[in-house]
Amino acid sequence: MDYRLLKRFCMIATLEGISYLLLLGVAMPLKYVWDKPEFVKYAGWAHGVLFVAYAVALIMCWAKYKWSFGKAALIFFASLLPIAPFIVERKLMKEALQNA
């Protein structure tokens, strides 16, 4: 089976997770502790774009790999937690390697 789309999704998941951590761990403290709101503007924008890319890639993977609704929903809700996209990415790549 062709796993190029899954690899792309995993890359997006990693980037989305990094952007979320930067937003929460760097930009938000800069805004509220050091009164630098411009960092939230740019980090938030980048995270928003990556979140939409994550959702689109998830829908494409869901259709192509015929994932169950439950699996797709779990992966989507994982994107709402700061560390979970990294866990999802590792699990999906491990699953793909086992099926290859």
Grouped pLDDT means (10 residues each) for the chain, 100 residues: 87 93 93 90 94 96 94 93 88 82
Whole-prediction pTM value? 0.89
The pLDDT assigned to 3 comes to 84
The pLDDT assigned to 57 comes to 96
**Distances, alpha carbon 60 to alpha carbons 14, 33, 56, 65, in Å:** 17, 40, 6, 8
- Of 97, 91, 84, nearest to 21 (Cα)? 84
The pLDDT assigned to 93 comes to 87
